[in-house]
Amino acid sequence: MHHPQFYKKLSLIAVLGLFSVNALADVTNKQSTDPTWQKDESYRFTILHTNDHHGRFWQNDIGEYGLAAQKTVVDEIRKEVAAKGGKLLLLSGGDINTGVPESDVLQAKPDFIGMNEVGYDAMAVGNHEFDHPLRIIREQQKWAKFPFLSANTYFKNSDNRVFDAYKIFNLNGIKVAVFGLTTDDTIFLASPKNTDGVEFRKTLPEAQKIITEIKKTEHPDMIIAVTHMGHYENGEHGSMAPGDVELARGLPNGELDMIVGGHSQNPVCMASPNKRITDYVPGTPCAPDQQNGTWIVQAHEWGKYVGRADFVFLNGKITLQNYQLIPINLKKEVDNGNGTKRLEYYTKEIQPHQNLLETLRPYQEQGKQQLLTKTGELIGRLEGDRSVVRYQQSNMGQLLLSAFIEKTNADIGIMAGGMIRDSLIEGHITYRDILKVEPFGNTVVYFDLTGRELMEYLKVALSKKQGSGGYTHLKNITLTKTGDAISDVKIKNEPIDLQKSYRITTLDFLAAGGDGYPITNTLPTYVDTGYRDADAIKQYFEEHSPIKATDFEPSNFILEK
């Protein structure tokens, strides 16, 4: 079904008027010594893109996104572009893995099968691809009918790359080179077991190296980087590795025509130069970023949008004619005015592609079944009842924090009782059981504080009232609390050293200031591992079963005076 408002061209003034005339200047490419295009002839081509898919092969409970609806949109654009004599490329900014249990238990097989049907041409390797060991990634590469690209991922102490660096596409005689980059933070974000023998080299030097090589050997008319590095406005990025803005600025002007990004999981729609729209409304005009002659795009996450960039190539010059983010069945709550609400599409309903829906349905069912398979064994009961976990330390809190500490190699674990939603009883434990305990999909994070800073943090954390969701659970700390004063603090049975640095693990909700905890996600040492809490617990059960509940009984480590 054709939905004109999805595909109508937004005028350049509407989409790109926020930028100066210079920003709209054509990007001149080094043309090859023997071009395959004709002088004075216009060539049209379209780049479509998504990123940070995270297991969303199936639509959510209210029918948003999903690969079947995405295919309907992409097929429609393909038809439209072909009718005008153009060609199309569909690229992904990576992170296909990790996010939805039905996908996770099948190692994202349905996602890659669905992406084949939609017609992806290439993807960047994201850090979450390394949630699996290399043998599973190699299996995924076999499932995928498109290349995994990463120019900066090498086998340690060698010049051998783990993946292809780039791929050349011929779009009606226009030669387009697409190379991949993976954030060098992957070494901190992925399990060491999965990155053993692999190194992630600095992205800018690798980009410079591969661009030189591509120009020398391929003589392309356009160069695109498909990256999993993040878009950080004006080049700011805290402690994280450099992102797309720094990449574009670090290269000679116009050296790179376009960056199709991922990782930071935001729609890159600019309010003004170097300033992103923070609350982008689906269906409204979107101006991509431009830095140093390079267009930078990113389509939020989960297949919520398909990004569309229409280019015209004339005599070696490339002009961006139109850019938009097409919402895939995204909905908003609308007030009925009588105390009730209804859901409405931001734009218009997209019918899912029926054949693809039927291809994916058995995987959705199989994933649900596998959630019921045994993850581990529990002896005794882990207490997660709200009448316990919001009032006192519990063996469940101790087990969860043990899992997070093991995942991050932290000294201390801290979480709030309100984040524990169910108990686990003796017997076989399934992933679905664990998801009932931790249903929110928070991610495991860590940061460093000095002993002195930790004392200040604990004062705030321990001020949460018994009975509240913020009531604090601690692991590897003992202390005495007299009113609001804290003393006799010991970390792993050693008196706290005010000068020493300690690593604390918690969940991203608390790090963002949830439940009134100190905001720690702005610290330079803050790392969001991207691992869902339930996944870390599942892994802990797999590696330590049988789990004895008695091993996690909390000692009386907060002594009230």
Q: Phi-psi category of 463—alpha, beta or left, where left has phi over 0 and alpha has psi -120 to 50?
A: alpha
Which phi and psi (to 5°) does residue 376 adopt? -170, -170
Beta strands per DSSP E along 26-97: 27-28, 42-50, 87-92
Token pair recorded at residue 357: 């829906």
Catalytic hit among 44, 95, 161, 184: 95
Active-site option among 49, 53, 54, 473:
54
What are the DSSP E strand ranges found in 93-216?
A: 122-124, 148-149, 153-155, 166-171, 174-182, 198-200
The catalytic residue among 29, 127, 152, 266 is: 127
CB-count burial class (<10 Å; 0-12, 13-18, 19+) for 465: exposed
Cis omega (within 30 of 0) for bond into 546: yes
- In angstroms, the CA 176 to CA 256 distance is 11
Is 335 an annotated catalytic residue? Answer: no
* 300 is annotated as an active-site residue: no
Which of the 8 DSSP states describes residue 446?
E
Q: Is the peptide bond before 327 cis (omega within 30 degrees of 0)?
A: no
Q: Which amino acid would we find at residue 31?
A: Q
Active site residue 228: yes
338 Cβ partners below 8 Å, 6+ apart?
A: none
263 classed as catalytic: yes
* List 263, 308, 353, 473, catalytic entry: 263
CA distance 415 to 398: 10
Known catalytic residue at 265: yes
DSSP 380-437: S-B---HHHHTTS--HHHHHHHHHHHHHHT-SEEEEEGGG----B-SEEEEHHHHHHH
SS3 149: strand
Catalytic site includes residue 56 = no
- Marked catalytic residue, from 56, 161, 228, 532: 228
Spatial distance between the Cα atoms of 242 and 433, rounded to a whole number of angstroms: 39
Of the candidates 128, 161, 237, 300, the residue annotated as catalytic is 128
- Among 29, 52, 298, 310, the one annotated catalytic: 52
As a whole number of angstroms, the distance between CA 294 and CA 274 comes to 13
Annotated active-site residue 473? The verdict is: no
Per the residue annotation, which of 53, 390, 473, 532 is the catalytic one? 390
Catalytic entry in 104, 111, 121, 131? 131
Which one is catalytic: 249, 386, 432, 544?
A: 386
| Residues 240/185, Cβ–Cβ less than 8 Å | yes
Q: Is-contact 110 53, C-beta < 8 A?
A: no
Q: Helix 109-118 and helix 134-143: axis angle, to 10°?
A: 30
Q: Report the C-alpha gap between 316 and 33 in whole angstroms.
A: 12
Written as one letter, the residue type at 468 is: S
Q: Phi then psi for 261, rounded to 5 degrees?
A: -105, 180
- For residue 363 the two structure tokens come to 């995987």
Annotation marks residue 421 as catalytic: yes
Is 111 labeled as catalytic in the residue annotation? Answer: no
DSSP 330-397: -EEEEE-SSS-EEEEESS------HHHHHHHHHHHHHHHHHTTSEEEEEES-B---HHHHTTS--HHH
Q: Any catalytic annotation for residue 448?
A: no
Catalytic residue among 201, 249, 381, 421: 421
* d(C-alpha 477, C-alpha 466), whole Å: 19
Q: How far apart are CA 534 and CA 440, in angstroms?
A: 9
Coil, strand or helix at 277: coil
Instruction: Please name every residue paired with 473 in a beta bridge, in sequence order, or none if there are none.
Output: 415
Query: Could you list the active site residues?
Result: 52, 54, 95, 127-128, 131, 228, 263, 265, 386, 390, 421
